[in-house]
Amino acid sequence: MNATPNPAPILLVGAGLAGSLLAVLLAKQGFPVVVAERRGDPRARGYVGGRSINLALSVRGITALKDAGIADQVLADALPMPGRIMHPESLTDATGEGTVFQPYSQDPADAILSVSRGGLNIALLDAAERTPGVKLLFDHRCTGVDLDNARATFDTPNGNVELQGRVLIGADGAFSAVRHAMQMTDRFDYSQHYLDAGYKELHIPAPDDLPDLPNGVAEKYNGYAMDPRGLHIWAGRGGGASMMIALPNPDKSFTCTLFWPFADPSGKGHGFRAVEALDDAGVRAFFNRHYPDTRWLMPTLEEDFRKNPTSSLVTVRCEPWRRGRSLILGDAAHAIVPFFGQGMNAAFEDCRILSEMIEEAGGDIERVMDPFWQSRVEHANAIADMAIANFTEMREKVADARFLYHKKVEQAIHAALGQDMPERATPLYNLVSFTNVPYAEARKRGQQLDAAVSEVVGRVPSELLHELGNERWRERVADEARRVLGGQIA
Amino acid sequence: MNATPNPAPILLVGAGLAGSLLAVLLAKQGFPVVVAERRGDPRARGYVGGRSINLALSVRGITALKDAGIADQVLADALPMPGRIMHPESLTDATGEGTVFQPYSQDPADAILSVSRGGLNIALLDAAERTPGVKLLFDHRCTGVDLDNARATFDTPNGNVELQGRVLIGADGAFSAVRHAMQMTDRFDYSQHYLDAGYKELHIPAPDDLPDLPNGVAEKYNGYAMDPRGLHIWAGRGGGASMMIALPNPDKSFTCTLFWPFADPSGKGHGFRAVEALDDAGVRAFFNRHYPDTRWLMPTLEEDFRKNPTSSLVTVRCEPWRRGRSLILGDAAHAIVPFFGQGMNAAFEDCRILSEMIEEAGGDIERVMDPFWQSRVEHANAIADMAIANFTEMREKVADARFLYHKKVEQAIHAALGQDMPERATPLYNLVSFTNVPYAEARKRGQQLDAAVSEVVGRVPSELLHELGNERWRERVADEARRVLGGQIA
C-alpha cells in the first residue's frame, strides 16, 4: 500500500478525460484526490441524447482504462473500426458502392474504437465518484496558481476558494491555466503553433431521419446509412488541401469532421472563410461539388454549417512540465492535432505511466515528477510531429498512385512477417494505434520499415502486381522483405 | 504632410529604446503620440554615474537614429570597436600582450559602437519630449489591452487609467503585455525558447580603481586598463561552452558579460549554478583558472558575482504581429539572444521601416500594419536564428584552426573583392552589422559566400600561407575567389 505521509490531497485541476481518469488511478493507489473542474457537472444535465461527438480510442487509451478498471464498461458501447473506408474523389454513387476498405491489419482485432466523448467523460466521472478518496468539485474556474506551494485559487458560484494540495496536477487541457502560470516563470520553453486549416463538425443522422435514403442501404449497413465498420475518409478535395472524416455513433448516426484551410492559398475560394460567406444554396452546392456521394446523407447541412463553429488546430509543446510542486500532463502539456487520433490516447498514457512510476516509487509522488516528464516529453513531441505529418499524408497523398502502392507493399510485408518479426515489420500506424510502444520508438521503427519498403518497392515494382497476380506478388514481396529486414540492424 | 484624419493619438506601450525612438519618428510625421511606460522616468534620478551597461550599436540602429535626427548626439559619446580582440585560452599575461586583434573589415569605418544603454534611453526620451505631439507617461503599468479597439488600461500611482488610441503599438519588450493579450487570441503562433546558458554582468573599472595595474598599461591603452578599440572576447573556457565579452565605456571602465551554461552538461561543475554555490575564494579561484589574464582587472569580482543576477537568454518568435488595431514590434515581437549584437538594431530597424511605410502610404497607418509585419517577420526570424548560431560559433569554434583559417580566407576575399563585388564578397557579419541589407537576404548572401570560401580553402590550403608568405597568399586567394565568385549565379 502507498500510504501517503502527507495528509493533504493531490489537487487535480481539470475533470475532463485525463483529469477524471487520473483521479481514479491515484485514488486506487491510496491518495486522497480533489478534482476542481471549470465547467458544471455534465451529468447534472442528464445524458445528452441525439448528436454526439466521438473520438477514436486505441490501445494506449484502452490500457489505461483497464488499469482504472473501467475498460469493459467503455468498450461495451464502442464501435470497432478495423480499417479506413476511402471515398474516392470521383465517387458520385451515394449507396456506398465504390468506396474502398483498407484494413489496418490482417488481424481484425487491430481496430480503433469510435467512442462518445460525452459518454466517456461521464463514465470516467462516475468511476471517479465511486472510487474512495476522490472529491469532485464542479464550477471551479482556476484563477491563479502558486506553483511552488501546490495551491490554487478558484472562482466558484459561492465566491473565491483557495485549495491546497500535497502536489498540484494540471490536467486542464490545451488552454491550461496551470501551464499558463508556468509560462510566466523563467526558462520555460513554450510553443503554440496553428495549422492553416480549421475544422467543423457536421452530422449524418440515422436512416429514420434520411427521407431520400434508397431502400436497402440501411439494411445493408446494419441500420446505418453508411458502413459503420470503418473510419470514413474523403480526402484531396479542392486541390488536395482538405479532408472529411466520419465516425459512427451507437445511435446509428455519424459525426463528420470537415478539415479545410481557412483561406485557400490557391485563391480559388475553397477555404472555410469563403464557404462561410456563401448563402445556404451555396453551401449545399459546395458540398454537392466536393462530396457528391453524401448528397442524401446530410439533410441538416446548411444549419450545421452555420451553427457549428469553425475551430482551430493547435500544437502545444513545452518543457519543463514541473515547476515547484506542480505538474502538467495531457493536452495541458502537449496538445496535438487530431490526425493520428492520439490526443486522448497520449493523455491517458501519461496518466498510466505517472501512476506506474508513483507505484514503483512506493508512493513518493514528489520524487517521480521530474523523471515522469523528462521521460515523456520526447514521446509527446514525437506524436505531435507524427500527427502533423499524418495530416499531410491523409489529405495530399491518398490519391498518389506511388504512395498507395508503397502502402500496399507495407501492408503485405506486415501480413507476411508481422508475426515473425513484429519489431521490424509493423507499420507506424499500427505501432501507434495497436501497441504501447513509446511514440518516439514507434517513429524510429516506422522510419526503418519505411526505408525497407522503399527498397522492396524498387525490387518489386507495381507492374509485377499485374504480371504475377496477387498471390505470387505477395510471396515475392515477402521474400524480398525477409531479405531486406533480415539484414537490417535493429 | 501626413495630417491624421483621426484625432486620437497613436498609443505606444513602452518607452524603452524602441518605444521612445518610434515616438520621435511618428511625431515627426505629424501624428500625436502618447507613450505609456511601466517604469518611472529614468531622468528623474539624474544620470546614474559610475557603472553603465553598454550595447553595440551598428548601421541599422544608426540609420534609424539619423532618421529621428539624433544620431550625432548619440554618436558623440559612442566608442568605435573596429574589430574583435581575442584573448587566447592559454593567455596568462595580463598586460594585453598576446591578445589578437581581428578587424571586421579593411575599412576602419566598419566599426560597431559601444554605447551606454541608459545614456541612449535618456537621449531618446529627451528627443521625444522635444518633439511636438509626443506625450510621455511614466509609472503606467499596462494591465489589460483591448486589441480590437486600440484601448489599454494602466495601473498608475493615481489609480487605474484607460487610454484610447487611433491604433495601439506595443514596444514593451520581451515580456510584452500587448503580445500577451495577442497570445490569448485564436490562431496566434508563438514560441519562447531559452538557451541552456545564462549571463551575468561584471565590471572592469578605470585604472584609478585598479591598484595592481602595472605602470604603463593605462598609458598604452589611452587611459583604459585594456585596449578600448575593440570588442574583447574570451571564448572556449571550461570545455568550450562558455564565453566572456567586454565593451568599453566613456568613463574608462569596461562592462563584461559572462556567458556560461547554467549547469555544465559535462558534470565538471563549471556551470553558473556550481560557481554560485562557491564562497568568495572559490569564485576568485574560478576566475583565476579560466581568465588568468584578467587577474588585476576585477577587484570587485566577488561582490559583483553575488550582487548581479544570472539572467536567462530567450528567443521569442510569433505571428501575426497585428490583431485588430494593435501592433507589436521590437523585442515584443522578436526577442533574440545577444550574440550578434542586433537586438536593439533590429528593433530600431522595425521603427524605421514602419515609419517609412506610413510615409509612403500617406499617413494611413492602419493600412500598413499588416504589410509591415508580413514583410518583417522573415527577417526577424533570420536574425533570431543567426544570433543563436553565432553563440555556437563564438564559444565553440574560435579555437578551431580550420575555422580560423576559413575566416582568414573570408576576410582576405572581402579585402580584395569587397569593393568590386560587394554583393558577393561581403561576409555575413559585415552585412548584418555594416549594411541595411535585410537580414534574410544577408543570411542568403552569407551562405553563398561561405560556400565560395570553402571552395577557395580547398584550392588554397593553409600550408600555402606559410609557403607563399602573406602577400603572395593574398593574391592567390583573390585570384581563386574571383574565379569562384565570378562564376556564381547571384
Going by C-alpha positions, the residue among A18, A16, A31, A20 that lies closest to residue A127 is: A20
pLDDT (average), residues B71-86: 93
Cell numbers describing residue A82: 478495423
Nearest C-alpha of chain B: how many angstroms from A424?
34
User: Looking at chain A, which residue has its C-alpha nearest residue B195?
Assistant: A187
Higher pLDDT, B57 or B269: B57
Which of B190, B262, B312 shows the shortest C-beta gap to A191?
Answer: B190
pLDDT digits (tens, 9 = 90+) for B218-272: 999 999 999 999 999 998 788 777 899 999 999 999 999 999 999 876 666 678 9
DSSP labels, A38-59: SSPPTTTT----S---EEEE-H
| CB within 8 Å: A312 and B183 | no
Interface probe for A, chosen from B180, B182, B185, B192 (most Cβ of A below 10 Å), is B192
Please determine, for residue A394, whether its predicted confidence score (pLDDT) is greater than 90: no
| CB within 8 Å: A187 and B194 | yes
**Rounded CA separation A402/B70 (Å):** 63
For the whole model, what pTM was predicted? 0.91
pLDDT interval class at B395 (50, 70, 90): confident
| CB within 8 Å: A190 and B187 | no
Name chain B contacts of A262, Cβ cutoff 8 Å. 187
**So what's the pLDDT on residue A1?**
42
pLDDT interval class at A49 (50, 70, 90): very low
Q: Are B381 and B335 in contact (CB under 8 A)?
A: no
Interface probe for B, chosen from A184, A190, A272, A388 (most Cβ of B below 10 Å), is A190
Inform me whether the C-beta atom of residue A186 falls under 8 Å from chain B C-beta atoms. Answer: yes
Q: How far is CA A120 from CA A254, A256, B161, in A?
A: 17, 19, 48
Inform me whether the C-beta atom of residue A367 falls under 8 Å from chain B C-beta atoms. Answer: no
Name chain A contacts of B189, Cβ cutoff 8 Å. 192-194
Name chain B contacts of A188, Cβ cutoff 8 Å. 192, 194
pLDDT digits (tens, 9 = 90+) for B346-360: 999 999 999 999 999
Inform me whether the C-beta atom of residue B189 falls under 8 Å from chain A C-beta atoms. Answer: yes
Which of A187, A194, A262 shows the shortest C-beta gap to B189?
Answer: A194
**Rounded CA separation A160/A152 (Å):** 10
Percent of chain B with pLDDT over 70: 94
Q: How far is CA B420 from CA B103, B411, B478, in A?
A: 20, 15, 12
Q: How far is CA B84 from CA A296, A418, B183, in A?
A: 74, 61, 40
Name chain B contacts of A190, Cβ cutoff 8 Å. 190-192
**So what's the pLDDT on residue B74?**
87
| CB within 8 Å: B194 and A194 | no
ipTM value: 0.88
| pLDDT-wise least confident of A92-101, A427-436, B218-227 | A92-101
Nearest C-alpha of chain B: how many angstroms from A50?
29
Inform me whether the C-beta atom of residue A185 falls under 8 Å from chain B C-beta atoms. Answer: no
Name chain A contacts of B192, Cβ cutoff 8 Å. 183, 188-191
Which of A190, A262, A312 shows the shortest C-beta gap to B191?
Answer: A190
Inform me whether the C-beta atom of residue B300 falls under 8 Å from chain A C-beta atoms. Answer: no
pLDDT digits (tens, 9 = 90+) for A148-191: 999 999 999 999 999 999 999 999 999 999 999 999 999 999 99
Inform me whether the C-beta atom of residue B312 falls under 8 Å from chain A C-beta atoms. Answer: yes
**Rounded CA separation B439/B59 (Å):** 13
**Rounded CA separation A116/A250 (Å):** 9
**Rounded CA separation B50/B145 (Å):** 38
**So what's the pLDDT on residue A358?**
98
Q: How far is CA B466 from CA A163, A423, B462, in A?
A: 74, 57, 7
How many CB pairs below 8 Å do chains A and B form together? 32
| CB within 8 Å: B190 and A190 | yes
Inform me whether the C-beta atom of residue B463 falls under 8 Å from chain A C-beta atoms. Answer: no
Inform me whether the C-beta atom of residue A193 falls under 8 Å from chain B C-beta atoms. Answer: yes
**So what's the pLDDT on residue A153?**
98
| CB within 8 Å: A189 and B192 | yes
